[in-house]
Amino acid sequence: MNAFEFGEWQCDPKSLTIKSKDVVVKLELKVMTVLQILAAKAPNVVSQDELMASAWPGVIVSDGAIYRVIALLRRALNDRVKPHKYIESIPRVGYRLMLKANIHKDEVPQLSPKAQIRRTSLTIISKGKNNHPGLDESITMIERHISWRCPIFSIHRSSTKTKGDFHVEISLSKNEQTIELQWQILSKENDEVIYTGAHHETRQSREPLSPSVAELVAESITKQSLLHRGKQIEAVTDPSHLNYWDLINFGDRFVSMSTEQINLRREFLKYAVAKAPSIAVGHAALGKLLSWEVINGVAESAKQNVNLAIECAARAIDIDPNSPYVTSSCGLINSRMGKHALGIELCRQTLSAAPSAQAKDALAMSLSFAGQPEEAIELYLQVLASTPSGQIFNHGKIVVPALQSGQLERAREYVDLAIAYFPGDYFAWLLRCNISAQLGNLDGAKEDLLQARKLLPTLNLENLIASIERNYGRTENQRQYLTSGYLRLLQDSGTLLADSTKPYLKHPEQLRPH
């Protein structure tokens, strides 16, 4: 969002400051983010759920996180005493900025041709004087995993801070039997620390980190850097105002399940492909989104999406057949669209060139689409076994191949774990809906379906069933295990209720997946 004003306050999101007369207050990034969200909707109410989804995208937080940010915002605005002048609490609903905000409509300068395709730079710095001798090799593994996972970044190694979009400072220390890895990510704008992470192990070895821990750290760095950059560009609705890699960042991540957001992501990815047709990543990202729409039953025209997704995958492979991001993405695209042999081949190629839990995950998913659940389960169990201590594996991944194998009770156990840790995953609710209906619990299945529809409003059960039957290369028994619960629900008139007042339960120790 550009600078904005309300009442006596002038707000500059870029510098994270608010000003009233001669008083200038510096805000935390999250406090400014919440203020921007409230200002964009002012003077209307923003629900607590919407604040969580917008200010903490992809992260599950407690209600206390919102209370803390609102308290800090009121303190900055000198608005702590009731009746409040700026921020009003609406009990059991949310919050609103009581004054309408005047948002500046500054012209966005056009980017130079060089800036149009400039990657986001990520500088990794070794920090600390007495680091563990395995730090250098550990950083090399982290860099490798980042490049495999996210081609948006241009990665550099430096001994000191250099100009770049993000700095990552990493240290690896050893005290007696404990080895500790610490990392923090700083934004170039103001050297603000946007994330700090740590990993502890009890061991005496002088060896570097294990590959699974290096991948975990790479995942953290990638995710948090992209989230921060995404918050900076999320208010942009004109794709011509962003460079190629920002378009990819915007289009290749889940911000919201709303139809509006899905359409906007698709528009930005199509613009990226048109802007730089010789770069493979854009074709792969667009094809991945189109195939996701089809397989989840939310595509406006499934046939059109299938054809375009396959074309995107073919074009991406022609341009860059050796990029792990491209081969992995195109493997999933082809597998989702029924070209199982090619999809599995591309995913095996990815795993061979870039061995990682992410590559195993993609191959397992492709095998599930092809109706080969035994190897898929084996791969998922390998990922589970390599998940570092303290991290939560998303057990929902094993549910589909477990269902294909006819293991209903095992599938139910896995899906319950998935929902306990990741209640915002609509697909887990859908899977449990199907399993519950097959096990005869229709009331529970209806509640699960309604929760899935809350999370994915565009969900259409009939389209989902058609997608499964059309795109999954399975035996008749496998297909029945994946659809019979939904079909049973459709025969019950009470299934088509539009809403439910029962909120989904949250696990007390929610963690993000490895």
Q: In what order do the strands lie in the sheet with 46-47?
A: 46-47, 94-97, 87-90
Question: Which pLDDT score, from 0 to 100, does residue 506 have?
Answer: 36
Does residue 201 have a pLDDT over 80? no
Question: Which pLDDT score, from 0 to 100, does residue 508 have?
Answer: 33
8 Å CB contact between 85 and 98:
yes
Question: Which pLDDT score, from 0 to 100, does residue 231 have?
Answer: 77
Taking alpha carbons only, the member of 332, 243, 242 closest to residue 296 is 332
Does residue 283 have a pLDDT over 50? yes
Does residue 271 have a pLDDT over 80? yes
Q: Does domain 234-370 have CATH number 1.10.580.10?
A: no
Question: Which pLDDT score, from 0 to 100, does residue 514 have?
Answer: 26
Residue 498: CB atoms within 10 A of its CB come to 6
Burial class (CB in 10 A: 0-12, 13-18, 19+), 432: buried
**Section 217-221 average pLDDT:** 88
One-character DSSP codes across 81-140: SSSPSSEEEETTTEEEESS--EE--PPPPPPPHHHHTPPEEEEEEE--SS--TTHHHHHH
Return the residue matching tokens 């088509």: 496
Q: How far apart are CA 504 and CA 52, in angstroms?
A: 15
Question: Which pLDDT score, from 0 to 100, does residue 1 have?
Answer: 56
Domain edges within the chain: 4-103, 113-227, 234-370, 390-514
Taking alpha carbons only, the member of 261, 236, 258 closest to residue 246 is 236
Q: Which tokens hold the place of 142?
A: 């982290």
Cis peptide bond upstream of 503, omega within 30: no
Does residue 171 have a pLDDT over 90? no
Taking alpha carbons only, the member of 489, 494, 499 closest to residue 454 is 499
Q: How far apart are CA 88 and CA 210, in angstroms?
A: 49
User: Predicted confidence band at 136 (pLDDT cuts at 50, 70, 90)?
Assistant: confident
Same CATH topology for 113-227 and 234-370: the answer is no
List the CATH code of the domain at 4-103.
1.10.10.10
Of the listed ranges 34-38, 61-65, 90-94, 310-314, the one predicted with least confidence:
61-65
Burial class (CB in 10 A: 0-12, 13-18, 19+), 114: exposed
What dihedral angle (degrees, nearest 10) is formed by the CA atoms of 367, 371, 375, 379?
40
Q: How far apart are CA 244 and CA 267, in angstroms?
A: 13
Question: Which pLDDT score, from 0 to 100, does residue 341 have?
Answer: 94
Question: Which pLDDT score, from 0 to 100, does residue 505 have?
Answer: 37
Of the listed ranges 69-78, 123-132, 150-159, 396-405, the one predicted with least confidence:
123-132
Domain 390-514, CATH homologous superfamily name and number: Tetratricopeptide repeat domain (1.25.40.10)
8 Å CB contact between 143 and 154:
no
User: Predicted confidence band at 324 (pLDDT cuts at 50, 70, 90)?
Assistant: very high
Question: Which pLDDT score, from 0 to 100, does residue 77 have?
Answer: 93
CA angle 64/69/71 to nearest 5° reads 90
Question: Which pLDDT score, from 0 to 100, does residue 500 have?
Answer: 36
One-character DSSP codes across 280-326: HHHHHHHHHHHHHHHHTT--SSHHHHHHHHHHHHHHHHHH-TT-HHH
Of the listed ranges 11-25, 242-256, 436-450, the one predicted with least confidence:
242-256
| Mean model confidence pLDDT for the chain | 82
**Section 264-284 average pLDDT:** 90
Question: Which pLDDT score, from 0 to 100, does residue 159 have?
Answer: 67
Question: Which residue(s) pair with 18 in the sheet?
Answer: 11, 25
Strands 166-175 and 120-126 turn out to be parallel
Question: Which pLDDT score, from 0 to 100, does residue 61 have?
Answer: 63
User: Predicted confidence band at 109 (pLDDT cuts at 50, 70, 90)?
Assistant: very low
Question: Which pLDDT score, from 0 to 100, does residue 407 have?
Answer: 92
Question: Which three-class secondary structure state does DSSP give residue 341?
Answer: helix
User: Predicted confidence band at 65 (pLDDT cuts at 50, 70, 90)?
Assistant: confident
Instruction: Give the end-to-end CA distance of the chain in Å, rounded to a whole number.
Output: 32
**Section 233-247 average pLDDT:** 80
Could you read off the pLDDT of 473-504 as tens digits, one per residue? 678 788 888 888 888 888 875 544 433 333 33
Could you read off the pLDDT of 178-193 as tens digits, one per residue? 777 888 888 876 677 8
Could you read off the pLDDT of 372-382 as tens digits, one per residue? 999 999 999 99
Does residue 345 have a pLDDT over 80? yes
Question: Which pLDDT score, from 0 to 100, does residue 353 have?
Answer: 93
**Section 46-66 average pLDDT:** 75
**Section 229-258 average pLDDT:** 78
Of the listed ranges 42-46, 410-414, 503-507, the one predicted with least confidence:
503-507
Full 3-state SS string of 445-499: HHHHHHHHHHHCCCCCHHHHHHHHHHHCCCCHHHHHHHHHHHHHHHCCHHHHCCC
Of 57-61, 127-131, 374-378, 393-397, give the range with the top mean pLDDT: 374-378
Of 35-44, 183-192, 322-331, 465-474, give the range with the top mean pLDDT: 322-331
* Percent of the chain whose pLDDT exceeds 90: 30
Question: Which pLDDT score, from 0 to 100, does residue 447 have?
Answer: 92
Question: Which pLDDT score, from 0 to 100, does residue 255 have?
Answer: 63
Of 104-113, 174-183, 396-405, give the range with the top mean pLDDT: 396-405
- In terms of pLDDT, which residue wins out, 15 or 78? 78
* Percent of the chain whose pLDDT exceeds 70: 86
Taking alpha carbons only, the member of 97, 108, 107 closest to residue 5 is 97
Return the residue matching tokens 């999320």: 234
Question: Which pLDDT score, from 0 to 100, does residue 390 have?
Answer: 67
Does residue 174 have a pLDDT over 80? no
CATH top-level class for 113-227?
alpha beta
Question: Which three-class secondary structure state does DSSP give residue 20?
Answer: strand
8 Å CB contact between 301 and 466:
no
